[in-house]
């Protein structure tokens, strides 16, 4: 069942293997707290899964922050919602006794995870960003010394321009993150290649 006792409606799956980092699962537009549970279990079997629902509605579809148009973000709302999500992570860590999670975000979820890395660097132990875009054109200075980040972009993605994804990878790298950026021969949707690459990357991070 979904939990409502914290600031975000969410699902939590306890760890079956305490040696694995918990995953923070962040859905895309129109998803919900159940959307990525299967993906999380496939990526890191036995890891604790924490999956919140975005608190913004766009035509009835949950998102993690507002946008003004396709690919045009309400950056003030990005900042507000990223801080709210960081507060939720802190609440959930205290409630469920978790170490800092690794975010696994798709599309809108990847974008809020990137914003978290920039605005609340201590909230996450790392992030796998699937089809992300630059969330903030001019973020404040941030430090991510050695934080592992995987970015998976689609060469045929009609939503995310290649230059935008490359700029995000550069921004995170300049902040000190250990960025691996892969461009796959796919569009915007999730693919088996995403699953395989993210699973292998998580194994290395957990090792």
Instruction: Provide the percentage of residues in the chain whose pLDDT is more than 70.
Output: 99
In a domain, 3, yes or no: no
Residue 35 annotated among the catalytic residues of the structure: no
Return d(Cα 72, Cα 182) in angstroms, integer: 24
The tally of domains found in the chain comes to 1
* Containing structural domain, residue 41: 10-206
pLDDT at 70: 82
pLDDT at 146: 96
In a domain, 127, yes or no: yes
Catalytic pick among 2, 77, 87, 188 = 188
Catalytic pick among 44, 107, 153, 181 = 107
pLDDT at 2: 59
Confidence (pTM): 0.97
pLDDT at 69: 87
Q: Count CB atoms within 10 A of the CB of residue 172.
A: 25
In a domain, 172, yes or no: yes
Express each pLDDT in 8-66 by its tens digit. 999 999 999 999 999 999 999 999 999 999 999 999 999 999 999 999 999 999 999 99
In this model, does residue 1 exceed pLDDT 70? no
In a domain, 31, yes or no: yes
Residue 107 annotated among the catalytic residues of the structure: yes
Express each pLDDT in 145-178 by its tens digit. 999 999 999 999 999 999 999 999 999 999 999 9
Return d(Cα 75, Cα 67) in angstroms, integer: 8
Catalytic pick among 27, 35, 44, 157 = 157
Please name which of 115, 147, 113, 145 lies closest in space to residue 130, comparing C-alpha atoms. 113
In a domain, 4, yes or no: no
Residue 188 annotated among the catalytic residues of the structure: yes
pLDDT at 165: 98
Return d(Cα 109, Cα 86) in angstroms, integer: 13
Q: What is the band of 111 on the pLDDT scale with cuts at 50, 70, 90?
A: very high
In a domain, 1, yes or no: no
In a domain, 5, yes or no: no
CATH number at residue 44: 3.40.50.1820
């Amino acid at each position: 069942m979904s939990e409502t006792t914290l600031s975000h409606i969410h699902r939590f799956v306890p760890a079956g293997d305490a040696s694995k980092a918990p995953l923070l699962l962040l859905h895309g537009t129109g998803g919900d707290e159940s959307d990525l549970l299967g993906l999380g279990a496939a990526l890191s079997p036995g890891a604790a899964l924490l999956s919140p629902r975005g608190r913004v509605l766009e035509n009835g579809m949950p998102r993690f922050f507002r946008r003004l148009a396709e690919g045009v973000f309400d950056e003030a709302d990005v900042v507000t919602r990223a801080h709210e999500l960081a507060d939720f992570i802190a609440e959930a860590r205290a409630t469920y006794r978790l170490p800092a999670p690794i975010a696994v975000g798709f599309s809108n979820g990847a974008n809020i995870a990137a914003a978290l890395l920039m605005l609340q660097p201590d909230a996450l132990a790392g992030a796998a960003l699937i089809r992300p875009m630059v969330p903030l054109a001019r973020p404040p200075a941030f430090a991510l010394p050695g934080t592992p980040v995987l970015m998976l972009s689609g060469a045929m993605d009609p939503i995310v321009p290649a230059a935008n994804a490359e700029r995000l990878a550069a921004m995170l790298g300049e902040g000190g993150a250990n960025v691996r950026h892969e461009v796959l021969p796919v569009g915007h949707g999730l693919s088996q290649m995403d699953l395989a690459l993210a699973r292998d990357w998580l194994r290395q991070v957990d090792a």
